[in-house]
Structure 1
Amino acid sequence: MNGWLLAGGSLATVTALIHLVVGERDVVRPLLGSSLQAEPRRTLHGVWHFATVDLLFSGLTLIALATRPTANAPLVLFIAAHFLAYAAVFLVITLRAGWSRPLLRLPQWMLLLPVAALAGAGVL
């Protein structure tokens, strides 16, 4: 059992559930109730759920790979890289917003970055 991948996969799966439940309340409902035109509003709604599915599938994949004697290193590194990219996107957007205490305004990076680190550690 690869504990690094198990931890990273578990965190990614929990992140997907947080995204689905908390994000639905705090982001999706206000988005759907906004005056934004129907097509962009529904497109953003779809993209929101793409992210949920991606987080969930990535987490479940890391958990499955954790149970194998040797992990599929290219796949694990791909998952680590895209979680690192997600974290970077949130950090850049947050830091460029000009908010006070910006790192706490959009804290998603705090869940995404550790998944990248745990997955990466699982194949090194």
Structure 2
Amino acid sequence: MNVWIFTAGIVCLFTALVHIFAGQVDTVRPFLKSELPDVPKITLLGCWHMVSSILVLAGAVLTYIGWFDLTLYKNLVIGISVSFIVFSLVFIVVGGCFFKLQTFSKLPQWILLLLIGALGFAGAI
């Protein structure tokens, strides 16, 4: 077992659950009730569910690779890890444009995304 990669997978699956269930209440439902026109509303809802899919798939892949210590898939783990580090940076930069330093507390998603990327990367090197 590669504990680093396995832990990255478990954190990613946990993040997926938070995104899917808590996100529905805090973000998606109020957003769908907004006055935004239907096309951008449905487009953003589709993006929301694409993120859910990525979190579940990446979490499953990282957990599986970590559990069986499949070093053959090291490049896949690195690719997933780099993606999650970039996702974290996107939240920091975009949030920083709106909230300045408060982005670190108002948009805490960056923490889990960075953690998933760092744990996966640590396990792959």
Q: What residue in structure 2 maps to residue 121 of structure 1?
A: 122
The structure that is helix-richer by fraction is 2
Moved over 4 A (4+): none
- TM-score, normalised to structure 2, is 0.94
Q: What residue in structure 2 maps to residue 36 of structure 1?
A: 36
Q: Which residue identity is paired with 1:6?
A: F
Structure 2, gaps ≥5 residues long: none
> How does 1:1-124 map onto structure 2 within 5 Å?
1-71=1-71, 72-99=73-100, 101-124=102-125
Q: Is the 8 A contact 2:5 2:63 kept in 1?
A: yes
Q: CA RMSD in A?
A: 1.2
CA distance in 2, matches of 1:98, 1:15: 23
- TM-score, normalised to structure 1, is 0.95
Q: Which residue identity is paired with 1:51?
A: V
Shift of 1:98: 3.5
Shift of 1:95: 1.3
CA distance in 1, matches of 2:69, 2:17: 28
How many residues align? The count is 124
CA distance in 2, matches of 1:34, 1:51: 21
Structure 1, gaps ≥5 residues long: none
Q: Which residue identity is paired with 1:109?
A: W
Paired residue secondary structure (2:99): coil
- What's the CA shift string for 1:28-51, capped at 9, x where partnerless? 001110111111101111110100
Shift of 1:73: 1.0
CA distance in 2, matches of 1:100, 1:119: 27
